[in-house]
Structure 1
């Protein structure tokens, strides 16, 4: 597997974990009533608190960005255009997202936006190398 596809797979796994964790946080699954709620249909969830809301938004944003990252990574691999700029762009995206996740969970607004912008720049590097 190419380094680009390896990063795509790692980010897919991390994104899946973020979705699961956000769901468990939202249901407060560490409590007996929350665990029952998590195993149920979740028809009567309370409004998320600040932390649960950030966890959900982190997961949703990661899922949305995974789509673009996977498309670019698969296009690069399928077209055999996995040069250094594409790999560097994939690495920039991946590592910026690894910073983004805890920053968003903690709730640091300007740093969150900056790390998101760096990750988008990584996607831009990948796209530019493919065009």
Structure 2
């Protein structure tokens, strides 16, 4: 498996971690019948950790499409694939580190890690135009 494909696979695993973490914490609070039901009541979890998991997941999904687009662009039109992989690696690692920081409620460092992930996307964007 080449590096772009590996990063894409890891990113999908990371997406699944977000989905299952959010689902686990929400189900633990609201119960299995809520999870299995139609969720028509609009109930949302009130616990700190379930709320943080929801917000961390939403935050991940805000930048995930950009990562996917830039990684695929770098793989299909490899102007500078090494730079694309470097930026993608930074984004993936920062997003992995971000989860426990967000769940722990650690301010500032979490924001710095988020900025590092954005820096990874910028590197990937530069790679798309680098000749």
- When the two structures are superposed, what TM-score results if normalisation uses the length of structure 1? 0.87
Q: Which residue of 72, 90, 105 maps to 2:70?
A: 72
Runs of 4+ with deviation above 3 angstroms: none
Deviations 1:18-48 (A, max 9, x none): 123212312326xxx7011111122332442
Q: Which residue of 18, 27, 35 maps to 1:38?
A: 35
Q: CA RMSD in A?
A: 1.7
**Partners in 1 of 2:13 and 2:86 — Cα distance?**
20
Greater CA drift, 105-114 or 10-19: 10-19
In structure 2, the residue matched to 1:17 is: 17
2:94–2:113 contact (8 Å) kept in structure 1: yes
In structure 2, the residue matched to 1:115 is: 113
2:84–2:123 contact (8 Å) kept in structure 1: yes
Which residues of structure 2 form unaligned runs of 5+?
Answer: none
* Residue correspondences, number: 128
Q: 1:53: how far off?
A: 1.0
- When the two structures are superposed, what TM-score results if normalisation uses the length of structure 2? 0.87
2:14–2:96 contact (8 Å) kept in structure 1: no
**Partners in 2 of 1:124 and 1:46 — Cα distance?**
34
2:98–2:114 contact (8 Å) kept in structure 1: yes
In structure 2, the residue matched to 1:6 is: 6
